[in-house]
Amino acid sequence: MSRAVTMPNGKTIYAEMAIEQGELLRGLMFRDSLASDRGMLFLHNRMGKYSYWMFQVRIPLDIIWMDNTKTVVEVLTNVPPCPSAKSSECPQHGGTQPSQFVLELNAGMAAKYGVTVGSKIDF
């Protein structure tokens, strides 16, 4: 299921939603590409510090963490895929601020859409 997401600069993209535990764990694994106007939105049940990893993710991503008001609290750009075939060798990224929602986009898209800490994303 996809959902319209309005970025800080007013542009609308469509994000696949990850809600169930399996979806949250799988994320964008095994994808060879992601359209520039697409993303994946992770919906956590409550506020927490959620780090992400790039195990078996094949494309570099921008990762955006939002609090329960959909205000951006952390942004990591151009996060590279993990080259290791062992999940234990893949580093954790972000999750330093309490958040409830996480949006993954193609690398470079956060800047294009005007995403900065403190900006709002609507969905």
Per the CB < 8 A criterion, the answer to whether 74 and 50 are in contact is no
Q: Is residue 58 part of a domain?
A: yes
Residue 18, classed as helix, strand or coil, is strand
Is 121 within the bounds of a domain? no
Query: Structurally, how many domains does the chain consist of?
Result: 1
Is pLDDT at 21 greater than 90 in this prediction? Answer: no
pTM > 0.85 = yes
Confidence of residue 44 (pLDDT cuts 50, 70, 90): very high
Q: What is the CATH number of the domain that holds 28?
A: 2.60.120.1140
Contact 74, 92 (CB under 8 A): no
CA distance 104 to 118: 17
